[in-house]
A and B are shown apart, each in its own frame.
Chain A
Amino acid sequence: GQQLNQSPQSMFIQEGEDVSMNCTSSSIFNTWLWYKQDPGEGPVLLIALYKAGELTSNGRLTAQFGITRKDSFLNISASIPSDVGIYFCAGRASGTYKYIFGTGTRLKVLA
């Protein structure tokens, strides 16, 4: 099935560092969602974006809806060990009801 390009695929960082990841699409989307998934659990919604250029924060997390409407970015500031997990982006085009998911970014935080 179709998947979005998400990068990086994985990253090791030191506790306290900032993290950036992004998601790109060949199609224009009108909604972007960012999720975090822990092993064996369902993805948990972190941030939802509905407008091009929108910048939304949730604690130490900040996400942006790219102005081209073909990309989105997630930043995590001052990472902590519990940030470990897989982060997924998901996008939905106007007039559709189906979300397309990114391939995921696996984050590992070194204490």
Chain B
Amino acid sequence: DAGITQSPRHKVTETGTPVTLRCHQTENHRYMYWYRQDPGHGLRLIHYSYGVKDTDKGEVSDGYSVSRSKTEDFLLTLESATSSQTSVYFCAISERGGMATNEKLFFGSGTQLSVL
């Protein structure tokens, strides 16, 4: 299994509070991604990173920010959580990113976030 750790695994918070989710990898892969998955649906990309301090938006980036100060860590922050952000959040990594379309994505186990 790829060395990907997401923390926390479960989080309950209140509307309006800031929340930070962490993804830590031990694979030294260049690309890291944050997805959200709502019940009965596939994954939607929030933000991704293609290197330290290099990030870009995905398809559902509103209300989220990210930071990557080290290769191994990718943080997802909800500045002011809303109930619509209740979801399961998955982190993924890939070695080289877009230049190798036959490359695999490796996923973490997910963080269940509930915003009350």
Whether chain B is bound by chain A comes out as no
A residues sitting closer than 8 Å to B (CB atoms) are none
Q: Report B's interface with A, CB cutoff 8 A.
A: none
